[in-house]
Structure 1
Amino acid sequence: MTTQAPRTDALIDAILPHVAFDGWSETAFRAAAADLDMDMAEARALAPRGALDLAVAFHRRGDRRMVEALHAEPVADMRMRDRIARAIRLRLDVAGDREAVRRGSALFALPIHAAEGARLIWGTADAIWSALGDGSEDINWYTKRATLSGVYAATVLYWLGDDSLEHQATDAFIDRRIDNVMQVEKVKAQVNGNRMLKPFLAPLDRLGAMVRPPRRTPPADLPGSWTLPRG
């Protein structure tokens, strides 16, 4: 995951106190720039769409911090379901400012920004699976992220309304959602193991095996690519 410019981080930190009152708005954006004595031309260069870009950057910064925290945790001996649950809990922990998340959820629920919000949720699911070492090279790459996106999105909404001690109710909610997913996976395994259904499932299996995840890097033969000389 790419790092973020220090000045962008500073602008995010400056806007957060204003977001609680003005949301991710132009008013909050201008107030943040003023707090930093930052010229609006520089602020626009860092965030051309203003507060919207900062809301996106705030979310992606949370993803990076979650990955860093997850790599520092001893999760190697955990069951995969426990690793995923831990990753989701860490992502909520590093979010920090719950009001900023609440305001961001409202922003990305707007039809004009819904696609952007969906990309951010998918990005979080991808960051979790990648950090956990997912090596899927077929349709499972997509199904894993789609399933986790649904779990994470539902968890965030629950967490925003959770007033329990140390968010214990959210922890229980995460466990329940993952239990639901595991039940679906159990049914899928039973179906795949049914000999009577194998002739009907074989074409779908072959089709699924042909699906590939998106390339992480551009092909080396594209114009503008350069490879270090050998020797």
Structure 2
Amino acid sequence: MPNLKDRLIDAALPHVAFDGWSAATFRNAIRDAKVTPAQGRAAFPRGSVDLAMAFHRRGDDQMIARLRAQDLTEMRFRDRVAHAVRTRLQIAEQHREAVRRGMTLFALPIHAADGLRAVWGTADAIWDVLGDKSTDVNWYTKRATLSGVYSATVLYWLGDQSDGYRETWGFLDRRIDDVMQIEKAKGQVRKSPLLSRLMAGPNLILDRIKAPARPPRGDMPGMWRDPS
């Protein structure tokens, strides 16, 4: 039996296309899931915003599970990244309008930080499942760069009418290629005796930046969970 959060997400999705991630959708989800308002607020204290965040996070978890079940060892690394982004969008395809409505919600200044957190979470999940071991400033730059690629690709995907989203996948490949060119340039700087000396000072500072502690993926502590 689905847990409380999944029940509420599933109950909300038919309403999102009409009412967006709104208070009305949250009320209807509580009604259709046959839970009490208190249970609904315990699961999602901020109502529809937390509901939208949980919907996004569930898609990330489904992506992780799907990628872990696949053997990607024969792929070039840039192709693994592109494949992961493509997998995430294929998971979202079933609820494309919910994704569109989520973009509208997170475009509001009051919820912009939540939108950035959701996209960062997706980029973080992709790097983790692909085996990223960085512990320095590269941990941040990899996720920041992929967040930009993912956000741009989602926007392109939402407007894409091509067969099988062919144009979106071409757009994604071009963005990944752009990132690879940046990484190539960074490598050339490190190999250059002159440029490496010029960057010695900045690199000394950057080397002190460490990746954050890695809490386990899941609900925040203190959140009420359905015992079923």
| TM over 0.5, shorter chain | yes
Name the SS for the 2:73 alignment partner: coil
TM-fit CA distance, 1:137: 1.1
Bigger RCO (CA 8 Å, 6+ sep): 2
Bigger shift: residues 6-15 or 208-217:
208-217
Name the SS for the 2:177 alignment partner: helix
Rounded Cα–Cα distance in structure 1 between residues aligned with 2:169 and 2:195: 38
Equivalent in the alignment of 2:109: 111
Equivalent in the alignment of 1:211: 209
Equivalent in the alignment of 2:11: 14
CA RMSD of aligned residues (A): 1.3
Residue type of the alignment partner of 1:11: L
Name the SS for the 2:52 alignment partner: helix
User: Alignment partner for residue 26 of structure 2, among 25, 29, 44?
Assistant: 29
Residue type of the alignment partner of 1:185: E
Q: Give matches, 1:131-146, under 5 Å.
A: 131-146=129-144
Rounded Cα–Cα distance in structure 1 between residues aligned with 2:196 and 2:52: 47
**Which deviations, in whole Å up to 9, do the C-alpha atoms of 1:126-157 show, x marking residues without a partner?**
00000011000111000000000000000000
Rounded Cα–Cα distance in structure 2 between residues aligned with 1:188 and 1:170: 27
Residue type of the alignment partner of 2:157: W
Aligned residue pairs total: 214
TM-fit CA distance, 1:205: 2.2
Rounded Cα–Cα distance in structure 2 between residues aligned with 1:38 and 1:198: 61
Structure 1 residue ranges without an equivalent (≥5): 219-231
User: Alignment partner for residue 62 of structure 1, among 52, 59, 62?
Assistant: 59
- TM-score computed with the length of structure 2 as normaliser: 0.90
Q: Percent identity at matched positions? A: 57
TM-fit CA distance, 1:206: 2.2
Name the SS for the 2:207 alignment partner: helix
Residue type of the alignment partner of 1:170: T
Rounded Cα–Cα distance in structure 1 between residues aligned with 2:143 and 2:39: 36
Rounded Cα–Cα distance in structure 2 between residues aligned with 1:184 and 1:47: 40
**Which deviations, in whole Å up to 9, do the C-alpha atoms of 1:143-177 show, x marking residues without a partner?**
00000000000000001011111111111111000
Equivalent in the alignment of 1:50: 47
TM-fit CA distance, 1:198: 2.1
Q: Give matches, 1:114-125, under 5 Å.
A: 114-125=112-123
Decide which structure has the larger Cα Rg and report it. Answer: 1
User: Alignment partner for residue 73 of structure 1, among 66, 70, 76?
Assistant: 70
Rounded Cα–Cα distance in structure 2 between residues aligned with 1:188 and 1:212: 19
Name the SS for the 1:97 alignment partner: helix
Structure 2 residue ranges without an equivalent (≥5): 217-228
Rounded Cα–Cα distance in structure 2 between residues aligned with 1:193 and 1:183: 15
Residue type of the alignment partner of 1:176: R
